[in-house]
Structure 1
Amino acid sequence: MRVAIFAGGTGGHIFPGISIAEKFRKEEVVFFCSSRKLEKDIFKNLGYQVIHLNINGFRGKPLIEKLLWPFKLANCCLTAFAHAKKYRVDRVLLMGGYVSIIGWVLSKVKKLKLYIHEQNSILGSANKLAYKSSITIFTSHFLNLPNEKLTGNPIRKNFLNKNYDANDNRNKVLIFGGSQGSKYFVENIASTVDSLIKENQIIFQTGGNQPKFKSDNIVYKEFIDDLPSLFDEVKFVICRSGATTVAEIQSYGMPAIFIPLQNSIDNHQLLNAKAACSEGGGIVVEEGESAAEDLINAIGEIQSIDLIQMSKKMKKDIHFEAAKTIANEIKQN
């Protein structure tokens, strides 16, 4: 048995795929992802066979790139076919994102067993194309689909057995925008949070974005390698609401202010955030004209709330066994 995992574009697709891969022997897995620096950095020391495909997303691109995209897709499909034959792939797992379109084509043409994982509270474009062809579609939220199995979202193993509790070490506030950082965060909220959060150090993940606002109270980091350990020092977070971010926050029980990406496909980040905050474990602030005022109010509110009670309302255990459940299903069918 060998499973091809198609995962690329963002850490939200990649990290759950890696969590599932850890339930197989390394020689049983081949990853297919894009050739961007993000993917190369994530996979470089993991020991998996990784095929980097020269493709990127379609939406929001200039007309010339859209016209060339089908030719890139066809070339990448041929590359995937060749490697699938070389490694004797007999199962395909799609994690969503544009790379998954290639995996779907591979499974159709080569008649391979197809499985899908959807991290978000709404089907992504690639998974929407492919799910009717799948043996099982694993979901993080119940979507009422045929062949659906609700598993939760696989989380990094370092988040297992982690909990929010009252301790004196929680003296930081963490701001992060997902695996690629957030230009909006860096440009729009650094000065606001600095003026409101005086008693706690602010850790601010920037991605590749260069901050202009400077403060002795803000520590800027391009990337955070060990998020679970940092969570142990954090009172609350301000963050985007990609599916993997939300799953890790729920698994830990971290009080959160979510600022969903305004132009996320099908507005999935807003839906993720609202679902996560439905019981009172977090606050949603939407981008827009009133965002600055809403964020000020949200910070004031979260600083006045019992964070232990807020944590209990955020906490969800469904994600802990997701990787194991998905891997076992793929192995047995």
Structure 2
Amino acid sequence: MDVLSGRATEATSDDAPQQVQVLLTTHSPQLAAGAALEAMTMVVEHRTFPLGKEHTRLDADDYDFLRRFLDATKANLFFARALIVVEGDGENLLLPAIAEKVGRPLRSHGVSIVNVGHRGLFRYSRILQRKDGDAIPIPVAPIPDRDIPPKEAKWLVGERKTEDELGASEIDKRIKTLRRDTGDPVEAFIAGNWTLEFDLALQPGLAADVHQAVQLAQTTSRNPVRLRKIGERAKKAYADWLEEGKTAVEIAALIYQPVFNKKASKAEVAEQLAAILRARSETPEVMRTLLPSYLVNAIDYVTGAYVPGAPEFATNGNDEPDEEETDTEEIPSSVATDPA
């Protein structure tokens, strides 16, 4: 890509190679990651969509950011039929299993998961939004954490403000920030309470499984007997909490504690929980009632519920970058799900 780009650059001296025009078509995320975003054109349903600054809803600093961080694991967004954009490894590893359990496997619907490894989800989703409102018909579902701990987790978060300490106006401002860049074809599906893991632990039909996954994620042993004992202890602890009369939120905070304190990695918890969920025998209809609704809605959106329409572009009315969008620290991400 560097060689082709160099040949397409205007000659600066008489002895420089003659400038040529280069047209390259590809289905390769590796080649797409090496190309300048401004020079790219997507072809979707026999229509062309240039990705230059005059066409997309990307800001100038977004192009600089993406030039540094749009690698091959994220460039599959150019070749998918639909996209889910997530903050980290937990969602990246767990969502395919959840989609299978609700009868909407992502691979068979051509859905890619793009794990950006940080909070700037909309830096990627804005690539597919158009200034003229003529949307690229590829549904995009960013799934950001709500990041507001409940008051029952005050003992866990310390000085960090909990939901009861923030007030309605501050919470509303945060939610608007998380939704400020929605608009055809992008729809945000925000965690209902705190984070993905906490929200799953909050569901009565899943809490015991999440607790078991968190406990298993803290051991390096692969001894079947030891792993079975860990699972049995986790089930007993959950039963004891119920018998003690603890609320669902209190139990979720206890389950989430090792994840919050980084004693259990989110990636390992996701792997363990994915295996546990795949072993469950409930029908897709039943699983839908057990899971957080925002996850089910996000999966439905990218697997058939999206209807192109280009509604008015949503904004929070603040032209200044938000904290989530200015954090450019890149965290290594896992290989994203390949489109079918």
TM-score of the alignment, normalized to the shorter chain, above 0.5: no
* Bigger-Rg structure (1/2): 2
Counting helix residues as a fraction of each chain, which structure ranks higher?
Answer: 2
Q: Which has the higher contact order (CA 8 A, sep 6+)?
A: 2
Pairwise TM-score range, normalised by the shorter structure = under 0.3
Counting strand residues as a fraction of each chain, which structure ranks higher?
Answer: 1
> What is the TM-score normalised by the length of structure 2?
0.26
